[in-house]
Chains A and B, each alone.
Chain A
Amino acid sequence: MAQIMKVRPTKIELVRLKRRLKLSSRVQKIVKDRLSILTMEFLQAARDTVKAKQHAIDAMNQAYKAMTIASGYHGYVALQKELVACEADITVAAGPRSVAGVRLPSLELNEPTGGLRGYNLTQTSSLVDSASDTSREALRAIIELAELQRGLELLGTEINRTKRITNALEYILIPSLQATIRFLAMKFEERDREEKARLKRVKALLAAKEA
């Protein structure tokens, strides 16, 4: 049962409580809307994370296989000699993206421009090209997975926080305000009835006096 607040039983207080209830309902509406959006995004992120994880595992498997075949064909030393020349730093574009007030990471692998691979195409086979392509795909998959997993954690934390606020509003604050408003309204009605009864009694006394 909702707790009645300790307030002075005056009309001005009733007006204040009604205003407070309206305000609380508006806050509740926005928080609920936000919670439903966050939940939808969380479920979507969870589904995407499962897919991204599987994709990352598959991509790494393929990359490892392609690299093994390429090194078997060219020889480990020869392959390393070719690949050393094309070593480059990986650059990832990172920034925040906001989902209903939650700042989630957004990551994207910067693709090299020009389409040059960096190693000698005349002295290497298509097996090295395949290894390079699958490795890049694995890298892309890892970055996507990192973004989704971090996003999932942040969304989960925010959902918990928002749920606590929604519950506090829904089960404590608003019922308490409603109960207090009901209590005050009943009190005023009771006061009116008492006033009426008193007036009737006075009228009866005056009538008896006159008679």
Chain B
Amino acid sequence: MIHQDDAQSRYERFLETYLSGELKLVNAGLPRARKSLADLLQEDQPSVLCSDGSQQLIKRAELRYLQGLLDEDEQRMLMLPILIEMTGSGNDAIVLCPTEAEAKVVAEVLGMTPRQEEPGRVRVYRPQLSVLRRKLRTTTQYAFSVRALE
């Protein structure tokens, strides 16, 4: 009986560990601290520090593209990488837009103003997500939250 209990708790521990490990793995690319577009443009080798301790390189071509979309104030406001929160539905995602600059970038890249359900949270659908990721490969990052799993 003791053995069975032990085996079961081990099994649950394994599942718990796997869940937290998977969350850690998928969120390994999240930045520890985000940097503004204006700051990144000043850097010789633009990069941000990720949660797993690695440096994510940000392409200059993308920074120049974003620079062309925004004025100087907005360049200081725009924090990179832009976070895309997965909702768990598989059909859509939420782009976190704490300032107007992020929302403007999303609107410009998609060529339309997407639905903003709550302030600072822009909902994008799968085809739009594909377009966004294609144009901003290193300046956007996926975020998987436990909230989405509830």
Task: State in angstroms the CA–CA spacing of A105 and B137 once bound together.
Answer: 12
Chain A residues, Cβ within 8 Å of B50? 98
Smallest CB-CB separation from A8: which chain B residue? B4
A19 touching B12 in the complex, CB below 8 Å, given contacts A29-B149, A33-B144, A99-B142: yes
Question: Are A94 and B57 neighbours in the complex by a CB distance under 8 Å?
Answer: yes
| Size of the chain A interface, CB-CB below 8 angstroms | 32
Mark A8-40 against chain B: 1 for CB-CB distance below 8 A, else 0.
100000001001100110110111111011001
Q: Does A167 contact B (CB under 8 A)?
A: no
Q: Does B121 contact A (CB under 8 A)?
A: no
Task: Tell me which of B15, B86, B126 contacts A23 (CB under 8 A).
Answer: B15
Chain B residues, Cβ within 8 Å of A100? 26, 29, 142, 144
Q: Does A48 contact B (CB under 8 A)?
A: yes
Task: State in angstroms the CA–CA spacing of A37 and B52 once bound together.
Answer: 20
Question: Are A30 and B22 neighbours in the complex by a CB distance under 8 Å?
Answer: yes
Q: Does A93 contact B (CB under 8 A)?
A: yes
Question: Are A95 and B19 neighbours in the complex by a CB distance under 8 Å?
Answer: no
Smallest CB-CB separation from A162: which chain B residue? B22
Question: Are B56 and A108 neighbours in the complex by a CB distance under 8 Å?
Answer: no
Task: State in angstroms the CA–CA spacing of A99 and B8 once bound together.
Answer: 34
Task: State in angstroms the CA–CA spacing of A44 and B86 once bound together.
Answer: 18
Question: Are A98 and B15 neighbours in the complex by a CB distance under 8 Å?
Answer: no
Q: Does B99 contact A (CB under 8 A)?
A: no
Question: Are A99 and B29 neighbours in the complex by a CB distance under 8 Å?
Answer: yes
Q: Does B71 contact A (CB under 8 A)?
A: no
Mark A59-96 against chain B: 1 for CB-CB distance below 8 A, else 0.
00000000000000000000000000000000001111
- Closest Cβ–Cβ distance, residue A29 to chain B (whole Å): 5
Question: Are A101 and B25 neighbours in the complex by a CB distance under 8 Å?
Answer: yes
Q: Does A129 contact B (CB under 8 A)?
A: no
Smallest CB-CB separation from A40: which chain B residue? B130
A30 touching B59 in the complex, CB below 8 Å, given contacts A20-B11, A44-B130: no
Smallest CB-CB separation from B47: which chain A residue? A95
Task: Tell me which of A37, A96, A98, A103 contacts B86 (CB under 8 A).
Answer: A37
Mark A89-131 against chain B: 1 for CB-CB distance below 8 A, else 0.
0000111111111010010100000000000000000000000
Question: Are B129 and A40 neighbours in the complex by a CB distance under 8 Å?
Answer: yes
Mark B1-40 against chain A: 1 for CB-CB distance below 8 A, else 0.
1001000100110011011001101111100000000000
Task: Tell me which of B19, B61, B134 contacts A27 (CB under 8 A).
Answer: B19
Q: Does B55 contact A (CB under 8 A)?
A: yes
On A, residues with C-beta under 8 Å from B are: 8, 16, 19-20, 23-24, 26-27, 29-34, 36-37, 40-41, 44, 48, 93-101, 103, 106, 108
Contacts beyond the supplied A34-B144, A98-B54, A100-B144: 15 A-B pairs with Cβ under 8 Å:
A19-B12, A20-B15, A23-B15, A24-B15, A27-B22, A40-B130, A44-B133, A44-B134, A48-B134, A94-B57, A96-B55, A98-B52, A99-B29, A100-B26, A106-B138
Could you give 5 example pairs across A and B, Cβ below 8 Å?
Answer: A23-B16, A34-B22, A40-B129, A97-B137, A106-B57
Closest 4 CB pairs of A and B: A98-B29, A95-B57, A101-B25, A101-B26
